[in-house]
Structure formats: C-alpha cells, structure tokens
Structure 1
Amino acid sequence: MTGFSHRRWIKRMIRHRYWLLGFAAVLGIAAAITGRGLRLDRSIESMFAPDDPLLVPYHRLQRTFGEYEVVLAMYADEKLATPEGIERVKNVQEQLNKVPGVAATVSLHDVPGGTTFEASELGDRYREVFSGYTHNEELTAAGVICLVERPGPEKPSRRVTLRGMRDVVAELPRGALVGEPVLIEEAFDLLEQDGRRLNTWCTLLVMLTILACFRSPIWLLLPLGVVQLTLALTDAVLVLSGLELSMVSSMLGAIVTVVGVASVVHVLVHYLDERRDGHGRRRALFNTIDQLAAPVSIAIFTDAAGFAALMVSKVGPVHDFGLMMAIGSLLVLPSCILLTPGLVWLSDYQQKPQTPSDELALGRWLNVLLNWSSTHIRWLAAGAVVLVAVSMWGSNRLVHETDFTKNFRADSEINRAYGFVESEFGGAGVWDLMIPVPQENGARTTKPPRIDANLYVQVLNLEGELQSQTPELSKAISLSDTLAAGVGGASGLASTGDFALRMGLGAARARMPQFVDALFQDDPQDGRWWLHVLLRAPEQLSADEKASMIEQVRTITQDEFPDAEVTGYYVLMTRLIESVLADQWKAFIVATIVVLAMMIVAIRDIRLTAVTMFPNIFPSLILFGVMGILGLKVNMGAAMIAAVSIGMSVDSSIHYTMFYQRLRREGLSCNAALAKSQSSVGRAAVYSTLALTVGFATLGVSDFVPTIYFGVLVSLSMIGGLIGNLLILPVLIRLVDGDQAAAEGVGA
C-alpha cells in the first residue's frame, strides 16, 4: 500500500507539473520580497554564547566606558617635530573633528607641552605618556586619538563615521585608521561585498560546469531553478525566524548553490540514462523520481546534519552558520519537488536526448578503475594505513590562528594599515583593564568618589610591573599616568595632597574632557566607579603568546586588585578561535553519529552502512594532517570543515550503495551490480563533485581568509571523498556482500 501510494503521488506530480511550476514561481517571488529584510549582525557579542563568562566584563566595559569607542588615525611625518609638522597635526585633527560621529579628538596639540620640543621637562613627560598614541618615539609618525560615538538612534552609523575618517587619512602619507571598531566594521563591509560576488561567480561557474557536462544549455533550467528558489526561500525563512547573517555567513548563497546543484545532477544523469534505455518522457521521469526520491532525500538530510552539527559550537558565527546552512540544505528538497517534474519535462522538449559519446567513455573508464581497484586491494589497504597514520601524526601538530588581521589577504588595506601601526607605534592590539575604585562605606554615589593618591600610585606601579614582566605588552596608559606627568612622576604623585589631585584632575578634564571620562567612570547598573587602563600589544603575535600574555596580565593585576577585570576586543578575539578549535571535533563526532544513523535507516544493512561510511570519514582527517605537517594554521573556516565535509561527501556514497542495493534486488550479481553502479552513479558522482569543487573553489577569491580556507579545504575533501567512493567503496562492498551473494547462489 505504501509503495502504491508513493507511486500515485509521483504520477500526480508529473500530471500537475505546470501547476507545481506556477506555485513555485509565486512562492519564489513572495520569498524574494520577504528575504530583502535579511541583515548582517555586526556586533562582536554575536560571536559568543549569551551566557559566555567572557562577556560579563565586556558588557561592564560597554556600560561603563562604552559611550565612546577609540579609533586611532595615524600617518607618517618625518617633520613632525617642526612647526610644519605641528600645523599638519592641527589641520588633520580639525578635519577629523568635523566628521559626524566623532565626539572628541586628542593630539599633540592637546597634550600639555606636547608641541614644545626644546628644554621642556613637562612636555617630555606628557609625550612619554602619550607615546604610541599621538606620536611614535622617534617623532616620525603622528596619531590622533578619536573618540567615536557608539551607533544609536539619531546618531550617525559607524559606517558613515569611519568612511568620513578614512577620507581624511587617505590624503596622508601612509595614512592608517586602526582600532577594533575599524577592524570589525571593515571585516563586515568586506564580507557583504564578498557574499554578493561569491554568489554571482559561484552560480555562473557551476552552471558552466553543468553545461560542459551535459552539452546543452537547456539542462541548466532545473539546477538554476532549484538554486534560485532555494536561495529565496532560505532568505525568507531566516527573516521570518528573526535570524541575522553573521561573520561567516557570506558563503551562504554559494554553499546553497552547490548543495542544490549536487542534488539535481544525479536526477539529470539518471533521467538521461532512462531515456537512453528507450523509455518515453513520462516513464523516464516517473522512474527517475521513483528511484531517486529516497537517496536524494537522504543525501539532503545528511548535508543538513553536517551543517547542523556545527550548532554544538558555543561560538556565535559558527553556531548560526550551522543553523542557516541546515535550513538552506533542507529547503533544497521542496525546491526539487516543486520544480523537477516541470523543468525536466520542458528541458526534454525535443524528446530525442543525445548523450555525448565522451559521457559513455567516462563510464567505461570508471569500470576500468573498478577492475584495477579490485586487483590491487593490498596496495590500497597499505596506502590507506600509511596515509591515516601520517595524518594522525600531522593533526597533533596543528596550531590555531588568533591574529584577526590574518583573516584578510596580506595585500589588503587592513593589513597594510595594521602593519604600519605595528612597526611604528609598537602594537595595534588595543585591550582594556578595569580597576574598581573603593567605595566609601560601600555606598552608591553618582558623584566621582575621592581617590587617594596611594591608589593612583598603586595603579602606576602596577603598570610598570606589567610591562616589566610581560615584554609583549607595549603600552599601558591611565589617569594615573596623566596626573603623574603633571606633578613630576610617581614620586611627586605619592606626595600630592587631595586638593592638588582634584586641581590636576580638573585641569586634565578641562583640556581633554571626553578622554578623562573614558578613563574614570561609573557603572550605571550598580553605581560602582572604575579606573580604566588602556593596554596596547602587537596584534601579530602567536596564539600561545597572546593567551599567555593575557593570563599573565590578569594574574598580576588580580594579585593587587582582586576584583579587577581584563577584557576588550583583543581578549575576545583571542579566545574566539580557541573555542572554534575546541568545538570542531565535537561537531565532527556529532555529525558522524547523526549521518550514520540516517544511513542505517536508509540502507537497512549494518555492514553496507559501515563500508559506505568508511571512505568519507578520512578525507577531513587527512587534510588536517597535511595542514599540521605544512604548518598551516587553523582559522575559523578550517575548523568548520570536518563536520560539514562528512555530511556532503557521503552524498554520492548513499546514491552508490542504494543504487547497488536496488540492482541486487532485481537479481544482478555483485560484480554486475557494481559495474552498473560505477558507470551510472559514478558518472553522476564525478559531475556533482566537479560542480561542488568548482562552486567551492570560487570561495578562494574571497577577501576573507576563513572563507578561502573553507572553500579550498571542502573542495579537497570532496575530491578525496570521490576517490574513496570510486576506488575504496566498491572493494568494501564486494568484501561484505560478494561472499554472501556467492553463498546464496546469486553470483559474484
């Protein structure tokens, strides 16, 4: 009854094919309109789980000092210490002050004695405090500290503000705009451009690949239709679900494209095989849908499972990427159901499909490969063992990338700017240390509490200890440094009375009000006052060096101030990739278990399921081994491929095994069934893998390096899976099914 009902529905689909096309068109238009509301979430908080303890001090930083964000505008100037150079600084500062969203600026003009270069002890002390911010030590480069308003209602967007600032520095020698807001905003701007370009080129190249395989543009109708409808539906579902694109979502459209195309390639190859066997359009279409409904559905489900496994990650972009791609993969199925009957029918309008002779030749070559693999089993086994052993050794050598600038191409504007600041100003990484001010009688107050000189001296001594014990830390600046510079140093600060301290603080606030407020402010949530220490360190440090430095700063500080907190973009981004790497194997295990369960349900034979899964487990492991051996670092894109590639590379294996099972049920011997599977499904596997590889290869032109890694590594993993399916899978099937077939008299 189930089979009858199933076939009855297929007949209805074919009979009402044009109604289905019409409904798909209406649905696609409605989805495209709805999907226009899809937005990109640009906040760094979105990269972490809401309950991540790392966000607690970061949220406090935002509440307390977050009214403004620090952006540094820097440029080279060999004549900085001359009247001409000082005038140039003044002009640059004035232009930056006019940019909407820039609340305040600090340059050498605002530093007491900053522009007096001859016999000025006061100027020397203040220049030492602001060295690395308003100028470099050699006085050959200048900087302007810009306090930029956080985006909000009736305020300029960060994009508008940064664009205006960039226009100013673009006219300056080696002009550079740096700071974590710049880094994040630039990243997302590139990602948006990236996404549009990748989607266009991916679709174009995949369609050209299909055209080369099928030799007729008419066969592009189905893949194009499925891809466009799936993309529209995916965007609409994301909008209706309240989801926003994240950092790694620029490849969403490209991946949906290749997943959709990989599904329909099997349909087209099988349909053409049916037509070559002499069946009419209706019978060929019926047989194709009847025989491929299960493997195509299972393959789509395994794709979705591979992506969904990434949702075990606590890293926001990876979790959201997994969810979005799982949704996109699943929506390929309704698109295929709605479009396949009508578009395949229309594509075969001549009713005399011509199969290129080289396609038949490909089938013959695949059977030659089958015969070769069956006579070289020992060599294949030995090679596999050696390859896996070397890969496991290489995997233990993997290191991860935490330099966020390395997420962009070496020749990008971001890397140029950060390289200049790293070399001239001692480090482009900006992070934050917050030290609580003791409360009088524990009472909450809206007025700044009285700070004893001893606290300022403690902070000053702490900064000195941090820089002496942590060589990587290039700069620390706080209100203590500003006050000490005004009274002759730490010794003078220790002997300064309360009245003199208040006068000094008032003078600093009068000269640089927003800057002082950014260093001493209260948390509006609990009224507690905090001193803010700005830390600087090189961005281009290794992961271990960054993690060690951050932990050392935290330990030293909390020995002196137990409630002090270390946070900021620098800290968060250092921990981000560490979390991705920690989650990748967990996601891989989850994907393997879920995919294996699906295949057991579909194949209904434990032994065949095991051998079908086997060739698809190792390509990703081998890739990681090679990366470890070559010293390539694991970034966010590389860390995601293990789980994803399991779901995608197993697609052709499912088609192969289920096709083989159907032939065996029809009475073919093991060898005959393998030969026909190799010729028919093998060709489809070659075409779909070629389309997948070409599609993912387009990610290699991305400006975002994790996207490049993801595209290249998944392509290589797919090729590895294809080799496994054509060389290893037939051998394993014969080992577990051939003997049984001979014993049952079916023939081997």
Structure 2
Amino acid sequence: MIELLYRLRFGLLGLLLLAAVLLWPGVQRAVQVDNSLEAWFLQNDPALRAYQDFQQRFGNDEVIIVATHDARGLLTSDYFQRFQELSRALESLPAVAAVIGPGNATVPTRAGLLGSGSRPLLPAPPAQVRRTLQQHPLLQEQLFSPDFRTARFVVVLRRLPDFDARRGEILAAVESTVHRHLPPGQTYLGGVGVIFAGLNALSQHDFGLFLGLGYLLMFTVLALLYRNAWLLLYVLGIVGLATYLTLGAYGALGYRLNLMTVLLPVVLILLGIMDAMHVINERNLVAEHGPGLSDRETALLALQRTFSPCLATMLTTVAGFLALVTSPMAILRNFGLFAALGIALCLVLTFVLGAIILPLTRPAPRATRAASLGLARFYSSILTHKGRFTALSAALVLLAAAGLFWLKSDTYTLGYFPQGHRVVQDHQRLEATWGPYLPLELLVEPRPGHQLHDAALVQATAAFADSARRLPGVGRVFGFHSLYEAGLAAQFPGRGRAALGSQSLLRAVDQQLATDYPQLAGQFIHRGSGTGRITVSGRMLTARQLTAKTDTLLGLARRTLGSVATVRPAGYQPLYARIVEYVTTSQTESLLLSILTVSALVWLYVRSLRLALLTVLPNLFPVLVLLGLMGWLGIRLDTATASIAAIVLGLCVDDTVHYIHHYRQARRSGQPPHAARLGTITHVGPTIVLTSVVLFLGYAVMGLGALKTVQLFGLLTAVSVAAALFGEIVIFPLVLERFDREPAAKADRP
C-alpha cells in the first residue's frame, strides 16, 4: 500500500492542492467570527425559540447602558444641551432603534381628567427640571440618580439579521458618538453586549497572538531537535494544510469560527505533530538498525510500520470527538464533527507528504538516540525503585481524585478580563455611580379572563416589584406596571400607587400610555399578545448565581402574581445560563462516552481485553490530574476549560496506541515481558518525550496571555501534557509489569 501511495504521491498532492484552491472561499468565510445564538443553539431548541419570540414582541433586548457622572451635579444648562445633542446623534445611527434618556425624555401634560399629550423634559431651566422630576419620581428613577450626579441613557439596538457579526462595529460607533458629547473620563458604557464584545475582541487577540507564539516556539524546538528544514516543512505541511482544508470545508458549509471552533487549530497541531514525529522517530530507528538502506527505503519502511498504529489512533481519536455530536448544542456538534474531519486529514497528509518529502531527507537520529538512551536509564531506575514510583503514582491519583470533590461547573464572564481592562473599570464605575444595572427580563402573560391593565394584575405586579427590590444585589425594577403608576401619579400627585386599585382609571391610563410615554410604552407592553415586560436590574453574576436569582424571582412571582398571570424568564441572561449548563453537561457526558468508545476501539485493535483494560489508567490519569487540579485551585469547569479534557484524551490515546502496538508486536515475536517493555519504551518513548516537550513549551506560552480563558487553556493543557507523559513512561510500564509477568506470558501471551 505504501508503495502504491509513493507512486501516486504527486497525483494525490495535486488533488489536495486543487481542493485547497476550491476551498479558498470557504476559508475566507470561516475565519470571520460568528458567536451568534444560532451558532450555539440548534434551531429547534426551546430556549432559543423562546428568546426569539421575546425579541419579536419587544425588539432586541441587547441594550447599551451609558452613564455619565459629575460630582458637581448634572442639572445645568450645559449638560442639558449635551444630553439633547447626544440623543439626536445616537438616534441617527442606523443600528439604534431608540434612546431612552434625559435628552429626549417626555413628560405627560395634564389636560382634563387625564393627560392628553406630552412635552419634552428639556430644554428648561435647571430648577424647573428638578421640580418636574420630583413630581414624576418613576421617570426620575429611569433618568437620574437620587442625587442628580449621574444620568443614564439606554441605547436600544435594532434587531438586525447580521447583528452578531456587526456587534463590535455597532458598539464602536455608539462609543465614539457618546465620547464626542460627554467627557470620556466621566462616562461609562456597560451591558451584556459590551461585556461580550470586549471578551470576543480580547480572546481573538490573545488566542491569535499567543497561539501564534506557541506555534512558533513548537516549530523552533522541532528545528533545534532535528536540524533539518525538510522535516520542519513536513510537520508544517501536515498541520497547516490540514487546518486550511478543515476550515475551508467548515466555511463552505456556511459556518464561521466561534469561541469553540477557534480551538480547531489547537487540536490539529497537537495530533498532527504527534503523528509526524512518530513517523520521523521510526525512520530514524530504521536507518540506525538497517544500515545499507537508501533514504527512500528507510522513509517508505517507516511509513509502512507506522501506518497501522496511526490509523488506529486516528479512528479512536475521531470516535472520541464524534461523541460530541450527541450534544444538544450546535456549537459542540460542529466542533466535534470538524475536529474529527481535521484529524482524518492529518492522517492522510502524514502519509502523502511523508511519501513526497521524507525520501528527500537524510535520517536525523541524534535526538531519537539521545532520548532512547535516557529512557533506558530511566526505565532501569523505575525497576530499581519500583515501590517509590508506585507510591508516587498512587499519591498523585488520590490527590487528583480528592480535588474532584471541589470541582464546580460555573462561569463568571467578567472574571475573564484583566482587572485593569476598560470593560471591567466601566462596569465597576457604573455600579458605583448608578447601582446594579444589568437587566434580567421577565415576561408577564395574563391568565385567561385577565388583561395587563386589570387592577388586580397591576397591583400584584407592583407588590412583586417592591419585594424584588429588597433582594440582595437588585437595584431598580421597572415594568409595565410602572407606566400605569406613572400615568396615575401625573394626574394625582402623591396618590399614584393608591389609584392602582381603580379599574376605570387604569383603563383610561391604558389608552393614553402611547401618547404620554412614547419611548417606554412599546418597550414594556406588547399590544398584539397582551403581554408585559418587567426589567429587574441586578449585579453581574456567575451563571449558577444567575440561575439561583432567577429561581428566587420566579418563586416570588408565583406567590404574588400566580393567580392572575404566569411569569417566565426572558431575554439574553437566562439563555446565557443555559449555554453554560449545556456546555459543561455536554462535555462531561461526551467525555464519558469518548472513554467508553476509545476503550472499545483499542480492544478491537489489540484484540486483547486485558491489554485494552490496562490502557484505561494511563489514559485517564492526565484527565484526572486536570480535573483534580482545577478542583484544588478553584478553577471552574466552564466554556473555556470544559473542552481541554477531550483534547487531552485524544493526546493520550495517540501515545497509548503506538505504545501498545509496539509492545504487542514484541510479545508476539517471542520477547519476554521485561524485554518487550524495555524495547517499547526505547522505541516509542522518544517520540512521546519529544512531542511532550514541544507541546508543553508551546502551550505554556499561552499562560502569558492577558485573558484568563487563554491563560487557563494554555497552562492547563501544558500541565495535562506533562501528566500524560508521566502516565505513559511511568504508570503504564508499572501497570504492564504488574499484570503481565513472566509466568503469565508463557501461559497466555496477549
């Protein structure tokens, strides 16, 4: 087969290059970032459909909160002029649907029994504005802090088809507009969109920079190890072309990179380097032990000897990643599917490029020989101090297992930023000057026989809002009931709350809301469905805390509103909590499925149940160390760390299959267990050690990143690589020595 591959090598390379040309438009599309909800969720997901329904009723719930603060006070003619100009400038932006703030606020006028119109709050003398706002406390609550030193603008963004792709551009336009009219040092921007746009920008920068530095370091180490430009080209060609073709297919099918699939190059470089180094290592050994063979013969013989284990590692690793296809999230399904495709391409390219490049190179056995001699001495040390190494291994396993009890799945998005980042600083100043501001939306649907303006429903909603404000971490609570109360307070100053019990007055106010409060009425009342909206402003929470807070609010709503309406969470924040739940649950379940699938495939490959079972411990050891270390250090299992275990499992399986393949061949050739173990560790061990060094250094560089997701991914992956190395060269030989002794070998060889 390898001879046939050698004869067809240029034709196969031509097909690959033709595919590369045809997939160029797909690559261009793939490298564009798309973190839209449609990229994360399946189209029939109930949570996504509920969110889309909420947006159809009330528009885009992603708003930008703009707060400006002046310790001297904001009720001045200069600020009033700035507020008006800012409101007009923001409203002129194509992506802005509405602006709710002091610059364009209106106050209902009194004409007859109920207000029949409205007038602008500004311009007016500062003293008059103060009196007007004191007469309309609910309006003041939306526009100014109680001391009038902070003013707030809510910028409501349009629900555009390409909104997620343009979020960064839209936020930049809003920010530049704000800073043209208000002092930058006294003005802060916040909101879910601001946080995630900052996170996306920083993650793309850090992943691009430090992953690039990591790659550069990896290939520099490879160049120093082998001192051969052709071998470096071989490894680069495998990784680069596999990544290119995978991204091309990914983009051709209409997908774009997101926070998960940006890890595809990480997976491919890890497994591509490993397969390439196994081939290079085998070629060096063939040349050293087979003098007289030509460069072409040593290259093809190395490819032939490594084809079977490389094929097996590809199948097992692909099966592990395909386990993600069972996830309920589109983003994880696509990650698993295209990681599997890329891994298969790495195998193809390892042998196609190997047949082209390796015959052109001279063997470079120096690094392989040095590693083999070192491993032989190390193996002798293990046998000499077997009890110590066994005790050390058991202690590490127990210590890591104990850490599992402290492992938690949660995420705090703001915690990913460096403390000095502008997003964090603006968030902290917003909370200090305005108070809790992040919106948690609730949808109120009247029960049959009730309407939003029913006295019983409005009073119950007001009671719910009063109770919600007393919860820790909750700030302002504003909803459709606030509009009815404000309308009544305009007609009966100081008695708006008491008038909520009058059905006739509520009916009259209901007819005037669109006129009296044109900005707010459409934001909180959907006439078509007869539903209302309540916005509970709170602090930035972790996903778990957000779920608990939502449950508390829903329990409170059932007690106060249960007889007249149903209340359910809406908007983006509950959906974000669902994302975290999906990701961590899916990764845990898929990891278990991967372990079972990989173990079964290893069993089929080695055709020995005992050997297959013996591979479980060294494969699970680095995963156990990873999760245990996260537990001890308080690192939560979240969207940034949940994928590392699956990647590490692929790394371990690759080394284990090569190890067990050579060990089985040695035992079948008649070698006793001790000689087979020594021969295996000196034959396969150099590749395991050298790839571990290369990968450890490459991923450790990512620990220098500013974004904590990049830091954690790099450092945890580097630690896992080190643990995988320990598992392969210490634990696995000890396990084999314990369960495949000399007498057992004579009676029943595997």
| Shorter-normalised TM range | 0.7 to 0.9
Supply the distance in 2 between the matched residues of 1:631 and 1:195 (Cα, whole angstroms): 23
Instruction: For residue 474 of structure 2, give the secondary structure of its aligned residue in structure 1.
Output: coil
Task: Give the superposition deviation at 1:147.
Answer: 1.5
Supply the distance in 2 between the matched residues of 1:312 and 1:555 (Cα, whole angstroms): 33
Task: Give the corresponding residue for 2:115.
Answer: none
* Mapping of residues 689-700 of structure 1, within 5 Å: 689-700=692-703
| Residues 609 and 242 of structure 1: CA distance in aligned 2, closer, same or farther (over 3 Å) | same
Task: Give the corresponding residue for 2:17.
Answer: 25
Task: Give the corresponding residue for 1:61.
Answer: 54
- Aligned pair partner of 1:301 in 315, 323, 343: 315
Supply the distance in 1 between the matched residues of 2:186 and 2:215 (Cα, whole angstroms): 38
Supply the distance in 2 between the matched residues of 1:372 and 1:50 (Cα, whole angstroms): 58
Task: Give the corresponding residue for 2:626.
Answer: 623
User: Does the CA contact (< 8 Å) of 1:619 and 1:721 recur in 2?
Assistant: yes
Instruction: For residue 621 of structure 2, give the secondary structure of its aligned residue in structure 1.
Output: helix
Task: Give the corresponding residue for 1:482.
Answer: 483
Task: Give the corresponding residue for 1:517.
Answer: 522
Q: Structure 2: which 5+ runs fail to align? A: 108-120
Task: Give the corresponding residue for 1:340.
Answer: 354
Instruction: For residue 331 of structure 1, give the secondary structure of its aligned residue in structure 2.
Output: helix
User: Does the CA contact (< 8 Å) of 1:664 and 1:673 recur in 2?
Assistant: yes
| Residues 103 and 156 of structure 1: CA distance in aligned 2, closer, same or farther (over 3 Å) | farther
Task: Give the corresponding residue for 2:114.
Answer: none
| Residues 732 and 119 of structure 1: CA distance in aligned 2, closer, same or farther (over 3 Å) | closer
- Aligned pair partner of 1:108 in 83, 102, 107: 102
Of 560-569 and 482-491, more deviation after overlay is shown by: 482-491
Q: Structure 1: which 5+ runs fail to align? A: 1-8, 443-448
Task: Give the corresponding residue for 1:43.
Answer: 36
Task: Give the superposition deviation at 1:250.
Answer: 1.9
Task: Give the superposition deviation at 1:129.
Answer: 4.9
Residues 1:570 and 2:573 are matched in the alignment: yes
| Residues 330 and 605 of structure 1: CA distance in aligned 2, closer, same or farther (over 3 Å) | same
Supply the distance in 2 between the matched residues of 1:598 and 1:651 (Cα, whole angstroms): 12
| Residues 464 and 153 of structure 1: CA distance in aligned 2, closer, same or farther (over 3 Å) | same
* Mapping of residues 306-385 of structure 1, within 5 Å: 306-346=320-360, 348=361, 351=362, 353-356=363-366, 359-385=368-394
Task: Give the corresponding residue for 2:555.
Answer: 555
Q: Letter of the aligned partner of 2:555 in structure 1?
A: T
Supply the distance in 2 between the matched residues of 1:395 and 1:18 (Cα, whole angstroms): 51
| Residues 420 and 494 of structure 1: CA distance in aligned 2, closer, same or farther (over 3 Å) | same
- Aligned pair partner of 1:493 in 471, 490, 499: 499
Supply the distance in 2 between the matched residues of 1:735 and 1:386 (Cα, whole angstroms): 18
| Residues 454 and 737 of structure 1: CA distance in aligned 2, closer, same or farther (over 3 Å) | closer
- Aligned pair partner of 2:299 in 285, 295, 318: 285
Residues 1:82 and 2:70 are matched in the alignment: no
User: Does the CA contact (< 8 Å) of 1:261 and 1:691 recur in 2?
Assistant: no
| Residues 702 and 26 of structure 1: CA distance in aligned 2, closer, same or farther (over 3 Å) | farther
Instruction: For residue 518 of structure 1, give the secondary structure of its aligned residue in structure 2.
Output: helix
Q: Letter of the aligned partner of 2:16 in structure 1?
A: A
Instruction: For residue 528 of structure 1, give the secondary structure of its aligned residue in structure 2.
Output: coil
Task: Give the superposition deviation at 1:636.
Answer: 1.4
Instruction: For residue 674 of structure 1, give the secondary structure of its aligned residue in structure 2.
Output: helix
User: Does the CA contact (< 8 Å) of 1:306 and 1:645 recur in 2?
Assistant: no
Task: Give the superposition deviation at 1:402.
Answer: 3.1
Task: Give the corresponding residue for 1:232.
Answer: 244
User: Does the CA contact (< 8 Å) of 2:436 and 2:473 recur in 1?
Assistant: no
- TM-score under structure 1 length normalisation: 0.88
1:22-54 deviation digits (Å, cap 9, x = unpaired): 333333233334322325433235434444443
- Aligned pair partner of 1:255 in 227, 242, 267: 267
Of 296-305 and 52-61, more deviation after overlay is shown by: 52-61
User: Does the CA contact (< 8 Å) of 1:299 and 1:650 recur in 2?
Assistant: yes
Supply the distance in 2 between the matched residues of 1:482 and 1:427 (Cα, whole angstroms): 21
| Root-mean-square deviation (Å) | 3.1
Supply the distance in 2 between the matched residues of 1:22 and 1:403 (Cα, whole angstroms): 48
Instruction: For residue 536 of structure 2, give the secondary structure of its aligned residue in structure 1.
Output: strand
Q: Letter of the aligned partner of 1:723 in structure 2?
A: F
Of 612-621 and 487-496, more deviation after overlay is shown by: 487-496
- TM-score under structure 2 length normalisation: 0.88
Supply the distance in 2 between the matched residues of 1:451 and 1:330 (Cα, whole angstroms): 62
Supply the distance in 2 between the matched residues of 1:460 and 1:321 (Cα, whole angstroms): 46
User: Does the CA contact (< 8 Å) of 1:637 and 1:708 recur in 2?
Assistant: no
Supply the distance in 2 between the matched residues of 1:700 and 1:489 (Cα, whole angstroms): 60
| Residues 341 and 175 of structure 1: CA distance in aligned 2, closer, same or farther (over 3 Å) | farther
Q: Letter of the aligned partner of 2:143 in structure 1?
A: T
Task: Give the superposition deviation at 1:118.
Answer: 7.3
User: Does the CA contact (< 8 Å) of 1:394 and 1:624 recur in 2?
Assistant: yes
Supply the distance in 2 between the matched residues of 1:600 and 1:201 (Cα, whole angstroms): 39
Task: Give the corresponding residue for 1:598.
Answer: 601
Task: Give the superposition deviation at 1:192.
Answer: 4.4
User: Does the CA contact (< 8 Å) of 1:41 and 1:245 recur in 2?
Assistant: yes
User: Does the CA contact (< 8 Å) of 2:484 and 2:506 recur in 1?
Assistant: no
Supply the distance in 1 between the matched residues of 2:343 and 2:495 (Cα, whole angstroms): 64
Supply the distance in 2 between the matched residues of 1:466 and 1:699 (Cα, whole angstroms): 43
Residues 1:165 and 2:165 are matched in the alignment: no
Task: Give the superposition deviation at 1:605.
Answer: 1.7
Of 198-207 and 335-344, more deviation after overlay is shown by: 198-207
Task: Give the corresponding residue for 2:158.
Answer: 149
Instruction: For residue 176 of structure 2, give the secondary structure of its aligned residue in structure 1.
Output: helix
Q: Letter of the aligned partner of 2:20 in structure 1?
A: G
Instruction: For residue 173 of structure 1, give the secondary structure of its aligned residue in structure 2.
Output: helix
Task: Give the corresponding residue for 2:110.
Answer: none
* Mapping of residues 66-215 of structure 1, within 5 Å: 66=59, 69-83=62-76, 84-109=78-103, 110=105, 112=107, 116=126, 122-124=132-134, 126-127=136-137, 129=139, 131=141, 134-152=143-161, 157-170=166-179, 172-194=184-206, 196-197=208-209, 200-215=212-227
Supply the distance in 1 between the matched residues of 2:401 and 2:315 (Cα, whole angstroms): 29
Task: Give the superposition deviation at 1:369.
Answer: 1.4
* Mapping of residues 538-687 of structure 1, within 5 Å: 538-539=539-540, 541-559=541-559, 560-561=561-562, 562-687=565-690
Supply the distance in 2 between the matched residues of 1:476 and 1:577 (Cα, whole angstroms): 26
Task: Give the corresponding residue for 1:732.
Answer: 735
User: Does the CA contact (< 8 Å) of 1:263 and 1:300 recur in 2?
Assistant: no
Task: Give the superposition deviation at 1:117.
Answer: 5.7
User: Does the CA contact (< 8 Å) of 2:34 and 2:257 recur in 1?
Assistant: yes
Supply the distance in 1 between the matched residues of 2:687 and 2:523 (Cα, whole angstroms): 62
Q: Letter of the aligned partner of 1:493 in structure 2?
A: A
Instruction: For residue 247 of structure 1, give the secondary structure of its aligned residue in structure 2.
Output: coil
Q: How many residues align?
A: 718
Task: Give the superposition deviation at 1:600.
Answer: 1.0
User: Does the CA contact (< 8 Å) of 1:134 and 1:144 recur in 2?
Assistant: yes
Residues 1:271 and 2:271 are matched in the alignment: no
1:389-444 deviation digits (Å, cap 9, x = unpaired): 3323321122233322224343333323222223332224212111124677x9xx
| Residues 422 and 153 of structure 1: CA distance in aligned 2, closer, same or farther (over 3 Å) | closer
User: Does the CA contact (< 8 Å) of 1:71 and 1:182 recur in 2?
Assistant: yes
Supply the distance in 1 between the matched residues of 2:69 and 2:553 (Cα, whole angstroms): 31
| Residues 322 and 411 of structure 1: CA distance in aligned 2, closer, same or farther (over 3 Å) | farther
| Residues 30 and 566 of structure 1: CA distance in aligned 2, closer, same or farther (over 3 Å) | same
Supply the distance in 2 between the matched residues of 1:155 and 1:724 (Cα, whole angstroms): 43
Supply the distance in 1 between the matched residues of 2:642 and 2:660 (Cα, whole angstroms): 29
| Residues 47 and 707 of structure 1: CA distance in aligned 2, closer, same or farther (over 3 Å) | farther
Task: Give the superposition deviation at 1:122.
Answer: 4.7
Of 603-612 and 508-517, more deviation after overlay is shown by: 508-517
